[in-house]
Structure 1
């Protein structure tokens, strides 16, 4: 099985490698660096346009 096939299979079955960490954080009702970085990444990605990238401008 190639890496791409493994990734496709993981997507098909809904595998989430962060699931154990997420459950641990939920059970302890804690805030983690992983969770903070994920939130910041989602915010940053949501601000990116669908158009072509302009390397002369900050994203």
Structure 2
């Protein structure tokens, strides 16, 4: 099964607000909160979301 999860990042100088949305019509959208805008915290977030999936980065 190919499930899509969209990850929204609202990037600021000190913090990054994180939200995720299911890729289906009417799917659940959840705000996960804010994390420090530091490479180690972004990497930890990616590991938590990644699990057994692949990433596609879009800017």
One fold, TM greater than 0.5? no
Q: Which has the larger share of helix? A: 1
Q: Which has the higher contact order (CA 8 A, sep 6+)?
A: 2
Mark the structure with the bigger radius of gyration: 1
Band of TM-score, shorter chain? under 0.3
Normalising by structure 1, report the TM-score: 0.26
Q: Which has the larger share of strand? A: 2
Normalising by structure 2, report the TM-score: 0.26
